[in-house]
Amino acid sequence: MPTCVLLIDDDVRLVAMLGDYLRSRGYQVDVCGDGEAGLAAQARADYDAVVLDVMLPGIDGLEVCRRLRARSPVPILMLTARGDDMDRIVGLELGADDYLPKPFNPRELLARLAAILRRTRGVAQADTILRFGHLEIDRASREVRVRGQRRELTSRQFDLLLLLAERAGRVQTREQLMDALKGEEWDSVDRSIDVHISRIRQLIEDDARHPRLVQTVRGAGYVLTPPSPSGDAT
């Protein structure tokens, strides 16, 4: 999927040049000539970033920035007049991620835009990935990796491991696990929780017979134990 950028600027020549330049680098670009249109466009579509000029007809760019940030974490790159420090400061205070004074080299805009996207996507990725030593659980892609190598868990096994990971350090009884995973046909009679735990261990532990991540608490249930700071479980 191409990166989608919303460009809000009333300088026709500038947006035509920037639009062509960014499209030639693989970006998808939509253009709006005023703040109202830009706000409406962003409300309709899920853009990866917004390039926003401070000087706009009607609602100025600072107000557009304030309204955008109030409703969305979308990355915002502000375009300001060269030397206008107050616009730059206010824009950053209102939630802009970066600024670029006019006139500028399109390559610099591209570099700043790419840097903003790397930072924001890094934060988003961090929110979706749980890490426990050599183990990574990716909520978004529903993947499990051990030392970077993907492990093939079934849907049930993934849900069970994710639940333990989200409650790391807290012992979960079989009944708690089955109740939290209701909707799945867990069978307490044939101890299917135990079977799935055993298979999970075979996939993520260095030694499934002596597990160091998913541990059994005798007479109680199971707990995912985060590795110690010294890295003993890695």
Which part of the chain has CATH 3.40.50.2300? 4-127
- Measured at the CA of 52, the angle between CA 28 and CA 25, to 5 degrees, comes to 30
Q: How far apart are CA 195 and CA 154, in angstroms?
A: 13
Mean pLDDT in the chain?
A: 85
Of 117-131, 146-160, 163-177, 217-231, where does mean pLDDT reach its minimum? 117-131
pLDDT score for 19:
92
CA nearest to 157, candidates 199, 129, 212, 220: 199
pLDDT score for 176:
85
Q: Is the pTM of this model over 0.85?
A: no
Q: Given CA atoms 163, 165, 171, 174 in this order, what sign does their dihedral have?
A: positive
> Per the structure block, which two tokens stand in for 222?
């199971």
Per residue in 189-221, pLDDT (tens digit) is 446 888 899 999 999 999 999 999 999 998 899
**What is the CATH code of the structural domain delimited by 133-224?**
1.10.10.10
DSSP H or E stretch at residue 219: none
Question: How many Cβ atoms are within 10 Å of 160's Cβ, its own excluded?
Answer: 27
* CATH architecture, domain defined by 4-127: 3-Layer(aba) Sandwich (3.40)
DSSP 50-86: EEEES--SSS-HHHHHHHHHHH----EEEEEETT-HH
pLDDT score for 9:
96
Per residue in 97-114, pLDDT (tens digit) is 888 998 899 999 998 898
Tell me whether the omega of the peptide bond preceding residue 103 falls within 30 degrees of 0, making it cis.
Answer: yes
Distance of alpha carbon 163 from its chain centroid, rounded? 20
Which part of the chain has CATH 1.10.10.10? 133-224
Per residue in 41-100, pLDDT (tens digit) is 999 988 999 999 999 999 999 999 999 988 888 999 999 886 667 877 888 888 888 889
pLDDT score for 20:
92
pLDDT score for 234:
36
